[in-house]
Amino acid sequence: MKFQLRYGLHSIATGFRTLSWTCGLLCAVAAYGQESMRSFAVDTPSVHDPVMAFENGTYHLYSTGNGLSHYISHDMKHWTGCRQGVITDIPQWTHDSVPGFTQHVWAPDIIQFNGRWYLSYACSSFGKNTSAIGLLSKSSLNSDEPWHDEGCILASRGGRDNWNAIDPNVIVAQDGTPWLTFGSFWDGIQLVRLDSSLHVAPGERPFTIARRYAPTHPNVADNPTSDEAGPNAIEAPFIYFHRGWYYLFVSWDYCCQGMKSTYRIAVGRSRQIMGPYLDSHGRDMLKGGGDILFEGDKKEFEAVGHCAVYTVKGKPMLICHGYSIAKGGTPVLVKRNLKFNAHGLSLAK
């Protein structure tokens, strides 16, 4: 969600990412309450859709959960979790955009931009594309300052849009322009240009940059989880820039089914943030291309997915969740080092 590790600019060494289609609703100006100080310690956090940031010696890990889950660590080995979510009061615009939405917030992303931290997140319901991407901000992750509601970045509506406004990843191109990539099923992974407030720039519309299958692909299996979503099983984009290339990471197939999950991570790259993103064989991800980077080994993890990439102490690192076989399919935090070569990249323990 910079191969300084994150196509777009994530650098833990300097604070992580170095650096109509909008909701059509008035955005709340209410602030989010301070997170509860009640905490618990774990070595391997149980998380789904993790992202990470670093500030003044502290790693912050955010993930899907009631109000968004939050863990902190000083060494990335021992984590302390907050028992209360980041978002304590769900703003009214989320209910207006996504009728029936409660408090289970999905797939955050975090970036430092123009000296301020921005946390994006998704509101939706499983198998539907009436969804919205929201935005929070604060000046310091380590302070008691509450998160400020910056409203809705954009929303999708069932029956109107052929894309799904979830799984946000905000990136900053090499020319300083912010972009949002997002998407799940429907017409695949989307990209749209943002303005300096990290909302959709005037006149801009999302466009597709990756699909699970080419539109002409024969005999695609039906979606076993949702008739509405269709068989285009691709989601969770994350763009990272490294040595002249933008790398697009996506998750293929199906999450959220414990030991029956089939999630896996694919990747392609482009010289331009707008694409085309090609795999090592020259296949366009817009037409179903992509190299498998990481998948379940059936020993430690049944499946893995929804990754983010950062530069940690000068080295690229991928984090994601894996469905732990030892824990009966519970999703846990997974970390892997990344190695780049002339043809792409590979994983190392």
235 as an active site residue: the answer is yes
Q: Where are the alpha helices (DSSP H) in the chain?
A: 92-97
Classify 71 as helix, strand or coil.
strand
Structural tokens at position 218: 């024969």
pLDDT at 218: 59
Catalytic one of 49, 149, 284, 291: 49
Residue 183 φ/ψ, nearest 5 degrees: 130, 155
Over residues 23-41, the pLDDT tens digits come to: 543 333 334 444 444 567 7
49 as an active site residue: the answer is yes
pTM: 0.89
Q: Per the domain annotation, does 168 fall within a domain? A: yes
pLDDT at 227: 62
**Domains: count for the chain:** 1
Cα–Cα distance for residue pair 58/9, rounded to 1 Å? 19
202: closest CA among 156, 239, 154?
154
DSSP β-bridge partners for residue 38: none
Catalytic one of 167, 235, 284, 295: 235
Q: Per the domain annotation, does 1 fall within a domain? A: no
179: closest CA among 48, 93, 251, 272?
272
pLDDT at 224: 63
Count of beta carbons in the 10 Å neighbourhood of residue 38: 9
- Asked if residues 200 and 181 have their Cβ atoms less than 8 Å apart, the reply is no
> From first to last of its 349 residues, what are the pLDDT tens digits of the chain?
332 333 333 443 334 443 344 454 333 333 444 444 456 777 889 999 999 999 999 999 999 999 999 999 999 999 999 878 899 888 999 999 999 898 899 999 999 999 999 999 999 987 889 999 999 999 999 998 999 999 999 999 999 999 999 999 999 999 999 999 999 999 999 999 999 999 999 999 999 999 998 776 655 676 666 666 667 899 999 999 999 999 999 999 999 999 999 999 999 999 999 999 999 999 999 999 999 999 999 999 999 999 999 999 999 999 999 999 999 999 999 999 999 887 777 776 6
Cα–Cα distance for residue pair 6/172, rounded to 1 Å? 10
pLDDT at 225: 64
Q: Per the domain annotation, does 2 fall within a domain? A: no
Classify 56 as helix, strand or coil.
coil
Q: Domain residues for 182?
A: 12-348
Q: Per the domain annotation, does 297 fall within a domain? A: yes
Q: Per the domain annotation, does 254 fall within a domain? A: yes
Cα–Cα distance for residue pair 329/34, rounded to 1 Å? 32
CATH number at residue 63: 2.115.10.20
Q: Per the domain annotation, does 7 fall within a domain? A: no
pLDDT at 214: 75
Cα–Cα distance for residue pair 13/10, rounded to 1 Å? 9
Count of beta carbons in the 10 Å neighbourhood of residue 66: 15
Q: Per the domain annotation, does 4 fall within a domain? A: no
Q: Per the domain annotation, does 3 fall within a domain? A: no
